[in-house]
């Protein structure tokens, strides 16, 4: 005679779960149990498992009930044996991570190879670069974008042209000091008179000092959109018809100027300077005293979608950080 057998029931409904989930050991997954009730620490390889106590599927484990015939109630967590992969004549085990070259990090997953690119800087320079070119740099795995210009590289070369692409460019030395000057920060105001700063050690003491200059991206009182040509959406550069004097706290520049300003767009683009220089302007006050201030002189602007907050101190960490303005 065959003895009747009643299968044990490991799940109970309604669910009764502790108030807080258990703390699992390092590397052990916190999963929902097999009853779809409570959070539990997943069973690891070699541990017993049931319909309630599930194996750690994140580690590729499953519950093997083959040793519990004929009940098939309590099993043992075992490793899923997956199919390996073959890539370029090399065989890899299931779950194995490898790098076929320096540009990709790949994983073999049950016969399929999935790869993640290690070179992420795949976008070309901005629109004002007439001929972008992706080239291989010496000592670097990933190609770099440069602005291919057959003409002689001038002092105002775009900052995104890597010096490694050209020979004969050395760091500036001054009295046993490596001169370093950062780029000017964005103007503190989008219209009207603002402040721009930079850090430089280009001085006799080779000390890193903070430098400031005045900047005026565009006048606040002028509606530049009225100067956009019919059929166009942007005006990159705006320039007043008559020269005017700079004014600071009632003090007036001794000479009149006719500066260029960055324009505006009627769509979502913004216009920012990409060529500028710093000039020194002499001011005279009503009481007869005089002083000088450095002022940003805009030479050219471009309009694009890469808009940023002028006061964002993390702007230089953005993906397009090396497309800052050409300045001196």
Residue 64: half-sphere exposure toward Cβ, Cα within 13 Å:
14
* Cα 49 from Cα 65, distance rounded (Å): 9
Tens of pLDDT, residue by residue over 117-145, are 777 655 665 555 667 777 777 788 888 77
- Tell me the helices (H) and strands (E) count for the chain, helix number first: 0, 20
In this prediction, residue 311 carries a pLDDT of: 42
| CATH for 192-304 (3.40.50, 1.10.10, 2.40.160, 2.10.90) | 2.10.90
In this prediction, residue 92 carries a pLDDT of: 86
In this prediction, residue 118 carries a pLDDT of: 78
In this prediction, residue 183 carries a pLDDT of: 75
* Cα 58 from Cα 28, distance rounded (Å): 9
In this prediction, residue 123 carries a pLDDT of: 62
In this prediction, residue 168 carries a pLDDT of: 32
Burial of 116 (0-12, 13-18, 19+ CB in 10 A): exposed
Q: How far is CA 292 from CA 245, 258, 296, in A?
A: 14, 18, 13
Tens of pLDDT, residue by residue over 289-307, are 888 999 999 998 888 876 6
In this prediction, residue 280 carries a pLDDT of: 93
Residues of the chain with pLDDT under 70: 1-5, 82-83, 109-110, 120-130, 148-176, 306-328
Tokens linked to 20: 């807080």
DSSP one-letter string for 252-293? EESS-B--EEE--BSSS-EEEEEEEEEEEEEEE-TTS-EEEE
Sorted by where each begins, the domain ranges of the chain are 30-79, 82-146, 192-304
What's the pTM? 0.45
């Amino acid at each position: 005679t065959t003895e009747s057998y009643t299968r044990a029931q490991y799940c109970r409904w309604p669910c009764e779960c502790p108030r807080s989930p258990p703390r699992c050991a390092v590397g052990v997954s916190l999963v929902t149990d097999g009853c779809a009730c409570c959070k539990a620490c997943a069973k690891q390889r070699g541990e017993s498992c049931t319909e309630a106590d599930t194996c750690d599927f994140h580690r590729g484990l499953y519950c093997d009930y083959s040793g519990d015939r004929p009940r098939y109630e309590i099993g043992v967590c075992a490793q899923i044996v997956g199919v390996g992969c073959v890539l370029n004549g090399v065989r890899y085990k299931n779950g194995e991570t490898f790098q076929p070259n320096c540009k990709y990090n790949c994983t073999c997953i049950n016969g399929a190879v999935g790869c993640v690119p290690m070179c992420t800087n795949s976008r070309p320079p901005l629109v004002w670069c007439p001929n972008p070119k992706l080239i291989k740099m010496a000592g670097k795995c990933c190609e770099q974008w440069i602005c291919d210009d057959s003409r002689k590289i001038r002092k105002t070369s775009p900052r995104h042209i890597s010096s490694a692409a050209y020979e004969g460019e050395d760091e500036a030395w001054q009295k046993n000091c490596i001169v370093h000057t950062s780029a000017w920060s964005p103007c503190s105001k989008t219209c009207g008179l603002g402040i721009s700063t930079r850090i430089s050690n280009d001085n006799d003491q080779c000390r890193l000092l903070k430098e400031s200059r005045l900047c005026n991206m565009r006048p606040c009182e002028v509606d530049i959109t009225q100067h956009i040509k019919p059929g166009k959406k942007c005006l990159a550069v705006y320039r007043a018809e008559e020269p005017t004097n700079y004014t600071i706290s009632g003090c007036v520049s001794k000479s009149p100027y006719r500066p260029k300003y960055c324009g505006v767009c009627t769509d979502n683009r913004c216009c920012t300077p990409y060529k500028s220089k710093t000039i020194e302007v002499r001011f005279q006050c009503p009481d007869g005293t005089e002083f000088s201030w450095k002022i940003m002189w805009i030479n050219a602007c471009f309009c694009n979608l890469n808009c940023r907050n002028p006061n964002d101190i993390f702007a230089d960490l953005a993906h397009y950080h090396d497309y800052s303005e050409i300045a001196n």
